[in-house]
């Protein structure tokens, strides 16, 4: 009976496709789900000769696995993960490995590592990115925690992962909840870039009156050359999709209320805790939230007018598009820079031991934020593992310098047109603040001391000081 190499709990889209990917790589796999339909679906999709088995019985599932067992949970984050663990625990034995492959909050992962360690079970969290297609054809995977357990399963994960230059897009990230933390920041970056693309789309469409055909062509063109990325690629495809019912482009029929499962918000919340500024990701989370205020926005649109001036733009359409493209390039770099800086800080704070070059390496393929520029980022961290911010790398700084006029002009254009470009603006503000040797926060310090005697430091003397500001 104990013939299967790997078990999966949760045979939804991701679980099923990951198992089928393993079967393609000659592993014998077993799946568990409470839904018989999902179990049947898994077995139906397996090719002849492959060892793929599904069941709705936890006991049968556990007994089907080779010992020490290796199984992954791919169930919704939060309570379902704890419930599944509780249900399986009576069947598990010392030395079994349990992996949480979902988007769990890293704090939950820390707790589960401790709880399961007490039972002698190796537990580790692993971020998996790439969606349905990625799971089937090769995802990017971010395992962290129990290194010994990961090493035992390394051959399976390396076999099923995406490859770039023959290098697998999976590697051990670091201690504790490192894998889930890295995946959380991955998703924060994903939010930032998606927001940026949607703002460029808005500026071109509402601001400059681009037709749907021109929009599609623009994003397809941007995806050629140095900006090449998965998110730009799918944007071109999305814009080219026609609705079966009406025959018009589907994107124009989709409600603008954007949903979120929470990983972007967690990235921002934790960045605030760490005091690691990620303003573009924050803006992306905020703009998704604002998008849900549909009724208020509709009302406001009839009250809060802005008469978009028709003249005053001397640049040609070609010049404008090239400017917006460069502005996108600039802002995109700052989003990765913010995410990587947060990872650096988190690594110190939580003792993860993250290697930024490895993170850039495994993000080059398989995941949602894969992009050509990740190879440049990998090289930057290869030159200097302790690089505090990607913007300090000479080559990346050079790219930003060459694009900064473009982002300034793009923001001016958006301001004139009344098109909201929170991500572009936050990106430039971050850049301008980061490159300012002095900021106006001396005034903030003085105000704090004025009303709350919070003390301040001086630039000409050591120590802390308080002033009776209202006494002359």
Q: Give the integer Cα–Cα distance in Å for 7 and 98.
A: 9
The neighbour count for residue 79, using CB atoms within 10 Å, is 10
Asked whether position 131 contacts ligand 6PG by CB under 6 A, the answer is yes
Site string for ligand 6PG, 57-96 (x = CB under 6 A): ----------------------------------------
Which residue, 70 or 182, has its beta carbon nearer to ligand 6PG? 182
Q: Kindly name the residue from 183, 265, 325, 403 that is annotated as catalytic.
A: 183
Locus of tokens 């003085």: 446
Site for ligand 6PG in 187-226 (CB under 6 A): 187, 190
Nearest residue (beta carbon) to ligand 6PG: 129
Q: Give the integer Cα–Cα distance in Å for 263 and 417.
A: 32
Q: Least distance to ligand 6PG from the beta carbon of 128, Å?
A: 7
Residue from 108, 104, 99, 40 nearest 65 by CA = 99
Q: Kindly name the residue from 38, 133, 151, 190 that is annotated as catalytic.
A: 190
**Pairing of β 167-168 and β 163-164:** antiparallel
Residue from 57, 29, 44 nearest 160 by CA = 29
Q: Give the integer Cα–Cα distance in Å for 152 and 6.
A: 12
Q: Give the integer Cα–Cα distance in Å for 92 and 68.
A: 9
Asked whether position 100 contacts ligand 6PG by CB under 6 A, the answer is no
Asked whether position 13 contacts ligand 6PG by CB under 6 A, the answer is no
The neighbour count for residue 237, using CB atoms within 10 Å, is 12
The span of 82-90, 128-136, 301-309, 389-397 binding ligand 6PG (CB under 6 A) equals: 128-136
Q: Least distance to ligand 6PG from the beta carbon of 163, Å?
A: 18
- Residues counted in the chain: 472
Told to judge if 183 belongs to the known catalytic residues of this protein, a careful annotator would answer yes
Residue from 41, 179, 140 nearest 366 by CA = 140
The interaxial angle of helices 317-350 and 373-383, nearest 10 deg, is: 40
Which residue, 109 or 187, has its beta carbon nearer to ligand 6PG? 187
Concatenating the DSSP letter of every residue in 224-276 gives: SGGG-BHHHHHHHHHHTPBPTTT-SBGGGGS-S-----SHHHHHHHHHHHHT-
Told to judge if 345 belongs to the known catalytic residues of this protein, a careful annotator would answer no
Asked whether position 279 contacts ligand 6PG by CB under 6 A, the answer is no
Asked whether position 260 contacts ligand 6PG by CB under 6 A, the answer is yes
Query: How many residues touch ligand 6PG (CB under 6 A)?
Result: 13
Is residue 58 packed enough to be buried (19+ CB in 10 Å), middle (13-18) or exposed (0-12)?
Answer: middle
Is-contact 418 306, C-beta < 8 A? Answer: yes
Asked whether position 103 contacts ligand 6PG by CB under 6 A, the answer is yes
Is-contact 197 373, C-beta < 8 A? Answer: no
Among the listed residues 17, 129, 177, 198, the single contact to ligand 6PG using CB under 6 A: 129
Among the listed residues 263, 276, 334, 427, the single contact to ligand 6PG using CB under 6 A: 263
Which residue, 84 or 162, has its beta carbon nearer to ligand 6PG? 162
Which residue, 261 or 466, has its beta carbon nearer to ligand 6PG? 261
**Pairing of β 70-73 and β 6-9:** parallel
Asked whether position 367 contacts ligand 6PG by CB under 6 A, the answer is yes
Which residue, 131 or 420, has its beta carbon nearer to ligand 6PG? 131
Which residue, 100 or 190, has its beta carbon nearer to ligand 6PG? 190
Is-contact 270 282, C-beta < 8 A? Answer: no
Q: Give the integer Cα–Cα distance in Å for 418 and 51.
A: 59
Q: Least distance to ligand 6PG from the beta carbon of 268, Å?
A: 12
Which residue, 32 or 368, has its beta carbon nearer to ligand 6PG? 368
The span of 89-97, 125-133, 195-203, 350-358 binding ligand 6PG (CB under 6 A) equals: 125-133
Which residue, 289 or 319, has its beta carbon nearer to ligand 6PG? 289
Asked whether position 368 contacts ligand 6PG by CB under 6 A, the answer is yes
Among the listed residues 59, 79, 111, 261, the single contact to ligand 6PG using CB under 6 A: 261
* Catalytically annotated residues: 183, 190
Site for ligand 6PG, rule CB under 6 A: 103, 129-131, 187, 190, 259-261, 263-264, 367-368
């Amino acid at each position: 009976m104990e013939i299967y190499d790997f078990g999966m709990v949760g045979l939804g889209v991701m679980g099923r496709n990951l198992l089928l990917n393993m079967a393609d790589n000659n592993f014998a796999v077993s799946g568990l789900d409470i839904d018989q339909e999902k179990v049947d679906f898994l077995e139906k999709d397996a090719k002849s000769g492959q060892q793929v088995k599904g069941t709705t019985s936890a006991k049968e599932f556990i007994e089907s696995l080779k010992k020490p067992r290796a199984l992954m949970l791919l169930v919704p984050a939060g309570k379902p993960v704890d419930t599944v663990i509780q249900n399986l625990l009576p069947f598990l034995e010392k030395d079994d490995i349990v992996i949480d492959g979902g988007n769990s909050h890293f704090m939950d992962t820390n707790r589960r590592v401790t709880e399961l360690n007490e039972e002698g079970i190796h537990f580790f969290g692993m971020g998996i990115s790439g969606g349905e297609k990625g799971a089937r054809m090769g995802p990017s995977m971010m395992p962290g925690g129990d290194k010994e357990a990961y090493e035992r399963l390394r051959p399976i994960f390396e076999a099923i992962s995406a490859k770039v230059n023959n290098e697998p897009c999976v590697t051990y990230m670091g201690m504790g909840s490192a894998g889930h933390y890295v995946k959380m920041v991955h998703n924060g970056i994903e939010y930032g870039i998606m927001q940026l693309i949607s703002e460029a789309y808005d500026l071109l469409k509402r601001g400059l009156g681009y037709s749907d055909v021109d929009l599609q062509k623009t994003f397809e063109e941007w995806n050629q050359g140095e900006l090449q990325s998965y998110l730009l690629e799918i944007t071109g495809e999305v814009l080219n999709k026609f609705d079966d019912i009406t025959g018009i482009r589907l994107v124009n029929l989709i409600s603008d209320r954007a949903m979120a499962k929470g990983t972007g918000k967690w990235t921002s919340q934790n960045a605030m805790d760490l005091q690691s500024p990620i303003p573009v990701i924050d803006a992306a989370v905020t703009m998704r939230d604002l998008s849900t205020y549909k009724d208020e926005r509709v009302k406001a649109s009839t009250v809060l007018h802005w008469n978009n001036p028709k003249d005053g733009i001397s640049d040609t359409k070609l010049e404008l598009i090239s400017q917006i493209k460069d502005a996108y390039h600039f802002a995109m770099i700052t989003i990765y820079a913010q995410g990587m800086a947060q990872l650096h800080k988190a690594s110190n704070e939580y003792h993860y031991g993250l290697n930024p070059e490895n993170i850039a390496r495994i993000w080059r393929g398989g995941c949602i934020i894969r992009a050509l520029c990740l190879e440049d980022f990998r090289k930057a961290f290869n030159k200097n593992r302790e690089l505090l911010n990607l913007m300090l790398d000479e080559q990346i700084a050079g790219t930003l310098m060459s694009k900064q006029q473009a982002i300034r002009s793009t923001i001016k254009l958006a301001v004139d047109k009344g098109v909201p470009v929170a991500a572009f603006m936050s990106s430039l503000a971050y850049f301008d603040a980061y490159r300012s040797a002095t900021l106006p926060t001396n005034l903030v310090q003085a105000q704090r001391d004025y009303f709350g005697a919070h003390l301040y430091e001086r630039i000409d003397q050591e120590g802390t000081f308080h002033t009776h500001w209202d006494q002359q």
